[in-house]
Amino acid sequence: MAESGFQPKAIDRKSKAGGMWQFMPGPYYGLTRNAYVDERFDPEKSTRAYARYMKFIYGELGDWYLSMAAYDHGTGSMQHAVERTGYADFWELLQTRRAAKETQNYVPEILAAIIHRQPSAPVRLRRRHNLDPRC
């Protein structure tokens, strides 16, 4: 999603991932793709599919940050990294450098986009992670 800039018509020329949520070609979570229609490019339908998919990933991993990383790098890859390290927390796992470089940056990029779009988001993030606002 960070790669698309949240543009509904975005397409990655290399991977063929498309839409604002960068779904790979194929039938994902109720999205239709055929010779006539590709619902990856429908903002509402693709957002609903993304929400269903993230809920599934969260059910597998139990952590939203790990779920975001798994969306980028694959659920199996993140599960394997958790098993290898014993860390079921994205920030702890990040310190081990077991995730791909792109994935290590992915979650912070998404959080930065949220903070940029919602000025009150930093306050909620600081409270959640017990961060000192003077840092």
Record the pTM.
0.74
Cβ pair 37, 46 in contact under 8 A: no
Contacts of 24 (CB under 8 A, 6+ apart): 15, 16, 17
pLDDT of residue 95: 86
Q: Each residue of 18-62: pLDDT tens digit?
A: 888 887 777 777 888 888 998 888 889 888 988 999 999 999 999
